[in-house]
Amino acid sequence: MWRHRSRPRPDWRTTVVEQGLVFPTTPRPDGSELPYWNEEAWYELTMEEVELLEAATEELWEMCLQAVSHMATTMTDQRLGLPAGTLDVVRRSIADGDPALYARFDLAYGADGSVKMLEINGDTPTGLVETGVIQWRWMEDVMPEMDQWNSVHDRLVAGWRKLRRSGHFPGQQLHLLYDLGEEDSYDGGEMEMTVGYLMDTAVQAGWIALAHPMAEVGWNPDAREYRDVHDDPVRTAFKLYAWEQMLAEPFGRFIVDRAERIPTKWIEPAWKVLLSTKALLPVLWELYPRHRLLLPAYFDEPRELERWVAKPLHGREGDNIRIHLDDMLEDVVMPGDYGAEGFVYQQYTDLPSFEGNRVVLGSWIVDGEAAGMLVRESDGMVTDYFSRVAPHVISDGLAPTEAQVAQWLAERVGPDAPTLPGQGR
């Protein structure tokens, strides 16, 4: 993989905002700003590299599904730092065969060709607009003859269509709910933007969709059901709202307590809470010791690790991470509100650096299959709120025809994709 400098399009800010990216820049605490969408650079990969990353992503996904089954049957809410009753909800979700839509791995891709899983966000991943729309449209403007590892949009539409036709969900109506945040916790529109894009792909798949903040969902005690902003029942709902947060609130306890007359069907399903906790990392290391795609990881203490990263079980965006290196005088400690739920310790690995830009690859899995990549750059050791997104192209791949895309989708979305143990497909 190579990094190239590039001259941004003259009207890039207006362009990406019109395409759906509502925050092209990131504000700093001092009032200045830096680009969030960074087209002053682009990354070049070969098809061989893409195939390597694609295979690694799908192998990791299969391992994660095995880990979910293991965690659901062997662990406790307390060990995982989850609200009481969460694992019972998870086990019911697995037994009911609740299907999932998508997730995003964070990978370190070394110059030696090594791929290491840093973590996975399996419950509330964002970055879809940047991946599926903004970098694709950049390529169409700047290098229209090239290709990109990016079938996110097509696979999301196909995934939504498959869910609609699965018979698992009642009717055609879909609610898309998101955490709007309040005052200082408002994220600048990321949740609304992501849900808006997902709603667009769901509508293309035939769903009748309505989106609004989770805070506008109510509970009707007489009917014993969740109601939307129009007081209509919520039967099928996508949520961009963390399961561990929802189940800890009085609102979510109705699910734990089985208070619903007709339980709402959730996307992502409750078992995905096990793919958003960092507890997954030591579990994977225990199930697959010395696996080439994993870094050693442990609960509660670093054990033999001399260079390690302490990660809060429910942490996001790098909050409360602590990095300890044996040759560094002081640890790197990130601020935040996480950590009371416990930590895991993962071996530190150097991120590849391109002219001082440390790179993490976000690798998407949609309906069980690898779907594309997002490049994030950071100045520091932690990929945090101030990271930047840069586009990529496949240098030895030419833009495919619509017929070729259709053929690839038909060939890859099929019965060979792994499934959660105990679930059919």
Residues 6+ away with beta carbon under 8 Å from 257: 85
Please state the rounded mean pLDDT for residues 67-73. 96
pLDDT in tens, 255-291: 999 999 999 999 999 999 999 999 999 999 999 999 9
The residue with greater pLDDT, 349 or 403, is 349
- Residue 424 pLDDT: 47
pLDDT in tens, 122-176: 999 999 999 999 999 999 999 999 999 999 999 999 999 999 999 999 999 999 9
pLDDT in tens, 9-52: 999 999 999 999 999 999 888 888 999 999 999 999 999 999 99
- Residue 425 pLDDT: 43
Q: Report the predicted TM-score, pTM, of the whole model to 2 decimal places.
A: 0.94
Q: How far apart are CA 359 and CA 372, in angstroms?
A: 16
pLDDT in tens, 364-391: 999 999 999 999 999 988 888 789 999 9
- Residue 414 pLDDT: 58
Residues 6+ away with beta carbon under 8 Å from 408: 151, 400
CA 148 distance to own-chain centroid: 20
- Residue 324 pLDDT: 93
Contact criterion met (CB below 8 Å) for 420 and 368: no
Instruction: Return the closest-CA partner of residue 214 out of 252, 164, 160.
Output: 252
- Residue 207 pLDDT: 98
